[in-house]
Amino acid sequence: MTSALPADRFASSADDRLPWSGLLALALAAFITILTEALPAGLLPQISRGLGVSEAAAGQLVTLYAVGSLLAAIPLTLLTQGVRRRPLLLTAIGGFLIANSVTAVSESYGVTLVARFLAGVSAGLLWALVAGYAARMAPEHLKGRAIAVAMVGTPLALSFGVPAGTFLGAIIGWRACFGMMSGLTVILIVWVLAAVPDFAGQSAGTRTPLKSVFTRPGIRPVLFVTLGFVLAHNILYTYIAPFLAEAGMVDRTDLVLLVFGIASLFSIWIVGVLIDRLLRELTLISTALFGASAVALWIWGDVPAVVYGAAAVWGLAFGGCATLFQTASAKTAGPAADLAQAMLVTVWNSAIAAAGVFGGLLLARFDVGAFPPSLLVLLLATFVITLVSHRHGFPRHHWA
DSSP codes joined into one string, 182-248? HHHHHHHHHHHHHHPPP-----GGGPPPHHHHHTSTTHHHHHHHHHHHHHHHHHHHHTHHHHHHHTT
Q: What is the DSSP letter of 160?
A: I
Report the C-alpha gap between 339 and 168 in whole angstroms: 37
State residue 194's pLDDT score: 96
Q: Is the dihedral of CA 36, 150, 92, 97 positive or negative?
A: positive
Q: What is the pLDDT of residue 206?
A: 65
Residues of the chain where predicted confidence (pLDDT) is lower than 50: 1-14, 399-400
Domain annotation for the chain: domains and CATH numbers? 7-206 (1.20.1250.20), 210-388 (1.20.1250.20)
pLDDT at 132: 83
* Chain centroid, CA 391 distance in Å: 26
| 337: exposed, middle or buried (Cβ count in 10 Å: 0-12, 13-18, 19+) | buried
Rounded CA separation 367/390 (Å): 38
Structure confidence at residue 62 (pLDDT): 79
Which of 196, 216, 230, 246 is CA-nearest to residue 336?
A: 216
